[in-house]
Structure 1
Amino acid sequence: MELYDRLGYLFGTEEYVSMRRGLVLLREELLKYQFRYARQLFICSGSLGEGVAYPESDDDVMIYHTFTRVVKSYREATWRGDLLMIPSQYSPGYCLLLDVKQSYPAYIIHVIDKMPFLSSSKWKQYGLQEGESIHGPCQSQIIGAYEYDNALCIHFPSWPDVAKNWILRSRPHGWPSHDVVQNIIMNGCHVVPIGDQTSAYHQHEWRISFSMAERTLMHSFNHVQFLTYNLLRLCLKRVIGKGSPGVLCSYFMKTTSFYTAENTPSQLWQAENIDTCFKTCLSVLYDYVDHGYCPNYFISEYNMIKRKVNYTNLQPLLDIIRSLHDIGIVRTIHLCGESKCFDR
């Protein structure tokens, strides 16, 4: 229990994390009220939205309009601002958006085979303010020591066909629960303006984003799972990312945490087992890297690690992950420069 308490000091107690999440929801409601006439909605989708408060925490906000949406068929396209999803044939999770009603201005449209598509690159350039830059799918701004990312996304109220297997797959250990899965499906997902860099249409493609679903899943974690995930993120920032820079990102840690929680008994995730939980996640991550295949949690056909690991960075990365597994939580925390949590 002492180790669990020390990690709670480092990343937040269960009560403190719950309070932070409540403040995030309040922030969203205040933004909704402030921009009610613009019919904009806001989702705090970064680690702060998940209840993480740490120097490396990111403050990402997804912004979308209530009068624009993505649909799966012409029959569903009843709004003036509806966009028809045309899934990529080569990159699962990516798509083009057809302007069905031809209602969008020409400066954000790209014509392919005489058909008007909403261009992702033109979309995120639109409204870019002085001091802002493009960072992935986001309009990014640095204020002081902090970076703020706003993703101008579009709501997709249905559940994408490419992720149907996520709904249907067996969950023998009961996580996530049926109610959580149904809640996620009911809220749909979003598309964000970034394409697959290997695609001929990458400047105009969009990526399906499950950020809202991920936040719901993170909120359904028990506190041991939450602390374990945070420790993985800390290891990435302080150890893995320095030893093998640019290979893995925090999304790999989140994906590893989700799959591990889904495929292990709930009895494992107890305070007295937290070191074992940490090592179990590292073993899963090790296997992903070693096999060169890290499946997206919602779209298992999408290999997130493709083209990231090669013969020059594979072994150093495996060595770091194995080393963290072998030394356990206490020495890992010291290695991350956070020994102060043991000085209390």
Structure 2
Amino acid sequence: MTRLGYGEQIRRWRVEKYKEQDSLMNARFRYVTMITAGSKAEGLTCLHESDRDELFVLEGILCVEAGISLHTIPDGIGVYRMDTHAYSGHCRLLLERQARNHSKVIHDALCDNGQGDILLSSSLFLDKMSAYLPTNSSFVNHERAGPSLPGSVGGVVHTDRVWAIRCHCPSILQRWASRPRHWPSPVLVQKVVSLGANVTAVGFKESEYKHMEWRIGFNTGESELVNNLNDTQAKVYVMLKMIVKDVLRPSKKEITSYVMKNIVLWQAERNPQNKFYAQSFLHWLLDGLRALRTAIVTKQLSYYMIPERNLMAASGLTYRQQSHWVEVITDMMAEGPRVILGLPKIRRAIVASPEPMLWYSMKRMELEMLELEYKNRMVPCYENGVLYKSDAIPQKMRRRMGEVLMEIALRMIEEGCAVNDLTDINDRMLQ
């Protein structure tokens, strides 16, 4: 797995590079703060291996729990009160105080509930936000998916863009922080609490009022937790995601990688850290599969941050899917160590000759590092999409990337492989 790009060193390096990129981008933004989330923020996927999740947090607006005094919030910030009489982990937002400079998107998403309250509609908010998304020949916007407004560049780089509002909910975070646990440490618990929460524009699927509801999330805190998993835990998480993607293959997100993340976080909290070491990898992988099978059978898995929220509720799982997936997982667990051979990516890596595998692994790592460094170096060079200053270092990076791709192409030819253009090789290497 280390040779496939899931080792501790490259994982930590990716995390720092995406944080650096966020910092560079936010130096240019005024009304939003961009946060890389999901697998990219966790350093657990290669550059083009999966979608990039981007969270755009609106500035000048805040939602708060009941009991929070408005006098503690600076003037000029718009304030919404959280009505949590909804499915666990969701809320409705009631206007308490208009922002001094509220956006047209927010204004157009306000609704009167007929009882004297003004609510912010999640559905209207996303509809209005969609209309403001830029469109051009290189970036294509796709159909809305939950709270996300997805897009892609060149059919290769896919981005899930999610707009969010900061959320001050100390009682929810304190309930999480006060649980008895083996992990995380008290210091990390307090850091997660300090990172706070946000709400995103999506309601509970089966709610009568889903178009008015928002979902409470802890993206930055969860990324911090995953980044503090040890090497064995991180690789269990990666392999569970592979099993869902390559073996179960859900067609409508009945099971997601987010379910796998929560299974691994519960594992970490409930067991001593010294039990997670390289030789125990298979034990924890099978334990994770057992937890997944139970979640499928019972349609029940508690959300790690808010246990009252069931991640399997409204998943759309059919009885036929349940029966089939339970059978598949049971068979996989019976295979013991051979279970990993059912994963195409792992199987190819195992049967490949060691020397070529190591060579391609090193070239893939170099390409990814060059690409991420290049992107970060280029951010300060652009203003409103126009290159306004030059930097010699990115040019040298591009030349080196071209040299690496030529080396790969020549080796492929020597090994009898069909070689397409260098762009195609680059896309394949970074997937």
Q: TM-score, normalised by structure 2?
A: 0.72
User: Where do residues 96-175 of structure 1 align in structure 2 (5 Å cutoff)?
Assistant: 96-103=92-99, 104=102, 105=104, 106-112=107-113, 113-125=115-127, 126=129, 127-130=132-135, 131-132=140-141, 133-143=143-153, 144-159=155-170, 161-162=171-172, 164-171=174-181, 173=182, 175=183
Question: Is residue 288 from structure 1 mapped to residue 292 from structure 2 by the alignment?
Answer: no
Equivalent position amino acid for 1:169 in 2:
R
Tell me: CA distance 1:334–1:283, structure 2 relative to 1, closer, same or farther (3 Å): closer
Query: Considering only aligned residues, what root-mean-square deviation do their CA atoms show, in Å?
Result: 2.1
Equivalent position amino acid for 1:48 in 2:
K
Tell me, what secondary structure is at the counterpart of 1:259? helix
Bigger Rg, structure 1 or 2 = 2
User: Where do residues 222-261 of structure 1 align in structure 2 (5 Å cutoff)?
Assistant: 222-241=230-249, 246-261=253-268
**In structure 1, how many angstroms separate the alpha carbons of the residues matched to 2:274 and 2:333?**
21
- Structure 1 window deviating more from structure 2 (274-283 vs 99-108): it is 99-108
Equivalent position amino acid for 2:157 in 1:
Y
**In structure 1, how many angstroms separate the alpha carbons of the residues matched to 2:62 and 2:13?**
32
**In structure 2, how many angstroms separate the alpha carbons of the residues matched to 1:74 and 1:276?**
45
Q: Report the alpha carbon displacement of residue 269 of structure 1 after superposing the two structures with TM.
A: 0.8
Q: Report the alpha carbon displacement of residue 258 of structure 1 after superposing the two structures with TM.
A: 0.5
**In structure 2, how many angstroms separate the alpha carbons of the residues matched to 1:24 and 1:333?**
32
User: Where do residues 319-330 of structure 1 align in structure 2 (5 Å cutoff)?
Assistant: 319-330=327-338
**In structure 2, how many angstroms separate the alpha carbons of the residues matched to 1:206 and 1:236?**
27
Q: Which residue of 2 aligns with 1:52?
A: 44
Structure 2: gaps spanning 5 or more residues: 355-431
Q: 1:85 aligns with which of 81, 84, 96?
A: 81
Tell me, what secondary structure is at the counterpart of 1:218? helix
- Structure 1 window deviating more from structure 2 (188-197 vs 87-96): it is 87-96
Structure 1: gaps spanning 5 or more residues: 1-6
Q: Report the alpha carbon displacement of residue 303 of structure 1 after superposing the two structures with TM.
A: 1.2
Q: Report the alpha carbon displacement of residue 108 of structure 1 after superposing the two structures with TM.
A: 1.6
Tell me, what secondary structure is at the counterpart of 2:60? coil
Is the CA contact (8 Å cut-off) linking 2:83 and 2:94 kept in structure 1? no
Question: Is residue 13 from structure 1 mapped to residue 18 from structure 2 by the alignment?
Answer: no
Q: Report the alpha carbon displacement of residue 22 of structure 1 after superposing the two structures with TM.
A: 0.9
- Give the number of aligned pairs: 332
**In structure 2, how many angstroms separate the alpha carbons of the residues matched to 1:195 and 1:307?**
11
Note the alpha carbon deviations across 1:135-192, whole angstroms, 9 max, x for none: 2112211222232111111112443x34543222111x2x111111100111111111
Q: Report the alpha carbon displacement of residue 95 of structure 1 after superposing the two structures with TM.
A: 0.8
Tell me: CA distance 1:245–1:114, structure 2 relative to 1, closer, same or farther (3 Å): closer
**In structure 1, how many angstroms separate the alpha carbons of the residues matched to 2:305 and 2:123?**
25
Equivalent position amino acid for 2:77 in 1:
G
Question: Is residue 22 from structure 1 mapped to residue 29 from structure 2 by the alignment?
Answer: no
Is the CA contact (8 Å cut-off) linking 2:79 and 2:98 kept in structure 1? no
**In structure 1, how many angstroms separate the alpha carbons of the residues matched to 2:307 and 2:169?**
19
Is the CA contact (8 Å cut-off) linking 1:83 and 1:97 kept in structure 2? no
Runs of 4+ in 1 over 4 A off after TM superposition: none
Tell me, what secondary structure is at the counterpart of 1:66? strand
Tell me: CA distance 1:100–1:74, structure 2 relative to 1, closer, same or farther (3 Å): farther
**In structure 2, how many angstroms separate the alpha carbons of the residues matched to 1:27 and 1:89?**
38
Is the CA contact (8 Å cut-off) linking 2:50 and 2:158 kept in structure 1? no
Is the CA contact (8 Å cut-off) linking 2:81 and 2:95 kept in structure 1? no
- Structure 1 window deviating more from structure 2 (313-322 vs 82-91): it is 82-91
Note the alpha carbon deviations across 1:252-299, whole angstroms, 9 max, x for none: 100101111111222221011111121111112222222321111111
Tell me, what secondary structure is at the counterpart of 1:134? coil
Q: Report the alpha carbon displacement of residue 329 of structure 1 after superposing the two structures with TM.
A: 4.8
Q: Report the alpha carbon displacement of residue 99 of structure 1 after superposing the two structures with TM.
A: 1.9
Is the CA contact (8 Å cut-off) linking 1:278 and 1:329 kept in structure 2? no
